[in-house]
Chain A
Amino acid sequence: MITGSKKKVLLGMSGGVDSSVAAFLLQKEGYDVIGVTMKLHKDSNNDEGCCSINAVEDARRVANKLGIQFHVFNMEEEFKKYVIDYFIKEYEAGRTPNPCIACNRYIKFGALLDKAKSLGIDYVATGHYAIIEKSNDRYILKMAKDDTKDQSYVLYNLTQEQLSKTLFPLGKYKKKEIREIAKKIGLQVASKPDSQEICFVEDNDHFNFINQNSTKPITKGEIVDIKGNVLGYHEGITKYTIGQRKGLGISLGKPMFVVDIDAENNRIVLGSNEDLLIKELDVTDINWISINKLENKIKVKAKIRYKAKEETATVTPIDNNRIKVIFDTPQRAVTPGQSIVFYQNDNVVGGGIIS
């Protein structure tokens, strides 16, 4: 490693186009960039995808091309504890978790940031599309310039301390521009497709993944309607999510949706599309960003899942770690375990977990 007077930044590199260009942009801004690929899970027979041998090699080749140092950190233990185990536990409790949010909170801006600090490195950076700005004495998280790629939703858990040590060099670019830069500087990853699915679940089959990794046996149970009439049987509640219509395995003559997952009684509850509409919900495990604390009720735009549209709502404090959200219009398939994130203009106000 070279020691100099430049500020040092530890950049998480996945071998994809975003984090590769992030390395270039940070370099251009005058940082001493140290690239790192985190090995987060064992990918048995998979050569592609994040954490694979190919991903590490792609990242290393980019680092070599840009002339930056590169390391591989193994964080399988932390990832298992904070992301995979949480993912399984949530599904088993009848909730639908968002593992990327947990990974950002505990791994990328948790364990990796700790590692950076212990190595005397000033910042952690990633190829996320979001903007951090300092306003008065607070660090504000803002939506990215490219609203089709904005990832502020998955970053709402970052604390002021974490935000103060984080850099998102891509926030002010459009994805198209990033691909153009990659091409211009001759990165071989310029046309690599975007990653979509949960990185540790193969073939996007979370049911199979939970089956293989859970310590609890998967038990069959009843599928009922709202009144409790038995309509059929399910193969395990972890196979279902709120709002699901396909793959229920029973035909009812009319469209039916999963409206509730009753883990306690091991039951899946079906209802009509109207039964899925909810106006009011409670939120726990809250993190505030643009404000220090919620004193009085505020008007916000709220997003109930990563790809959902923002909808206007009123947020009211209940107690220290619990708030009530009332939407102006009812929302479809509000899913316990997912995160809700509040915005004012482009600023992330905060967010929490739908209970």
Chain B
Amino acid sequence: MNRIIYLDNAATTRLNPKVLDSMLPYLKESYGNPSSIHFLGRENKKAIDKAREQVAKSLNAQFNEIFFTGGGSESDNWAIKGVAFANESKGKHIITTNIEHHAVLHTCKYLEKYGFEITYLPVKSNGIIDIEDLKKAIREDTILISVMFANNEIGTIQPIKEIGEIAREKGIYFHTDAVQAIGHIPIDVKELNIDLLSLSAHKFNGPKGVGVLYIKSGVNILSMIHGGGQERGKRAGTENVAGIVGLGEAIEIATKDIEKKSKYLITLRDRTIKELINRIPDTILNGDPKKRLPGNINVCFKYIEGESILLMLDMKGLAASSGSACTSGSLKPSHVLLAIGLPHEIAHGSLRLTLSEETTDKDMEYLLEVLPPIVENLRKMSPLIKNK
């Protein structure tokens, strides 16, 4: 059997066995509907309350500011559409960036059809916005700023605190897609002046199909799903109890000891990047070398396609990604890599390796052993290198 090395933790993560254990009772014996009066119902309601407390504590938010959703994309959709349509009498201008996840970008595109104007802030070549650009983009009718905490492809971390301060000063709602950041960067929504925050359980060793939208008290937002009174009437439908319990457990574990985990990952990440650049000529690191997620490596190998590298790594038991999970298979050059100024043909050759605490030195040694010959072989076949 080949060894399996999982380096695609930005796509999803392994379910923590402790999290699974916490979920099992709600998939087996405790099957009540949380809205029911009887003991099985109450037990489930209690479990959801506990998870809500766990999330609130992890973000330094209030219990009643946490709303469970079906995942990160739903949270992003809700935050943006919900704020836009609830506040359109105040203005129809929204500011975001051109490196957001598609859950944000495509929601903004959708709003354009309804007369909203969207400013897509560019990023500098290091993948980070210029705060002056944001200041200049703000108008009288700006109702929402949505800037991701950390990028899913190149891992760059945005100046969230500064954005929050500006938004606060101007009285504009500030949403951040923190799907990639939770568990890797300490987040305090009060200190960072965040009004809305999206997160997704499966990115921090929780189950898939469950997420959270943090909505600060007082934010004017429409309901996501109409129906029963679940989630304070804002997101109707019988709750995904096991998923919610798992999310609560997972976020508690993930936000513990962030500093220690980061230190380990940063060392491993930086050593791997250095070695990749040493051993493989014409390798470019995408995104800021320091202001990036501790486990994120995103490199371009000139003259070849990322997809071919992935298939070859796959044969060697290495699970990696090119760009985001959503763009694999579509081979469109990543909008993020184009946004940091890479030309088309180089953006095609990207490889994203996202590590976890479970990734070992040995794993990285194996990667560094198999990757250079793969790149070399593919370059031999490449039509691009012939035109060099």
Contact = CB atoms under 8 A, between A and B. Distances in A.
Interface stretch (A69-77, A195-203, A280-288): A69-77
Contact of B308 (A1, A39, A72, A115): A115
Nearest to A75: B331
A119 interface: yes
A3 B331 contact: no
A52 to B, nearest CB: 14
A117 B383 CA distance: 13
Nearest to A118: B381
Interface stretch (B170-178, B188-196, B311-319): B311-319
A115 B331 CA distance: 14
Contacts of A39: 330-331
Interface string A273-298: 00000000000000000000000000
B69 to A, nearest CB: 26
A74 B332 contact: yes
Given A118-B377, A118-B381, A71 B311 contact: yes
Given A114-B381, A118-B377, A118-B378, A74 B329 contact: yes
A40 to B, nearest CB: 12
B90 to A, nearest CB: 36
Interface string B303-315: 0000110011011
B308 A3 contact: no
Interface string A1-35: 11100000000000000000000000000000000
Nearest to B378: A118
Contacts of B308: 115, 118-119
B311 A119 contact: yes
B2 interface: yes
Interface in A93-134: 114-115, 117-120
B210 to A, nearest CB: 26
Interface string B375-388: 00110011000000
B331 A74 contact: yes
Contacts of B312: 119-120
Contacts of A115: 308
A3 B315 contact: yes
Given A71-B329, A118-B308, A1 B315 contact: yes
Contacts of B330: 39, 72, 74
Interface in B282-313: 307-308, 311-312
B301 to A, nearest CB: 13
A51 to B, nearest CB: 12
Given A118-B308, A118-B378, A72 B315 contact: no
Contacts of A72: 329-330
Judged by DSSP, the binding face of B is: helix
Nearest to A3: B315
A39 B328 CA distance: 13
A114 B381 CA distance: 8
Contact of B2 (A3, A71, A73, A119): A3
Contact of B331 (A2, A73, A117): A73
A39 B329 CA distance: 9
Nearest to B382: A118
Contacts of B381: 114, 117-118
Contacts of A1: 311, 314-315
B333 to A, nearest CB: 10
A71 B312 CA distance: 13
Nearest to B304: A118
Interface string A40-80: 00000000000000000000000000000001111000000
A81 to B, nearest CB: 12
A60 to B, nearest CB: 10
Nearest to B310: A71
A39 B311 CA distance: 17
Given A39-B330, A118-B381, A73 B307 contact: yes
B3 to A, nearest CB: 12
Nearest to A37: B329
A176 to B, nearest CB: 35
Contacts of A117: 381
Interface in B316-349: 329-332
A2 B2 CA distance: 8
Interface in B351-388: 377-378, 381-382
Contacts of A3: 2, 315
A43 to B, nearest CB: 13
B112 to A, nearest CB: 19
Give the most central of A3, A71, A74, A118: most B CB within 10 Å. Answer: A118
Nearest to B313: A1
A137 to B, nearest CB: 26
Interface in A167-181: none
A256 to B, nearest CB: 48
A115 B314 CA distance: 15
Contacts of A120: 312, 315, 377
Interface of A: 1-3, 39, 71-74, 114-115, 117-120
10 contacts: A1-B311, A2-B315, A71-B311, A73-B331, A74-B330, A74-B332, A114-B381, A118-B377, A120-B312, A120-B315
Given A3-B2, A39-B330, 16 more contacts: A1-B314, A1-B315, A2-B2, A2-B315, A71-B311, A71-B329, A74-B307, A74-B329, A74-B331, A74-B332, A117-B381, A118-B378, A118-B381, A119-B311, A119-B312, A120-B377
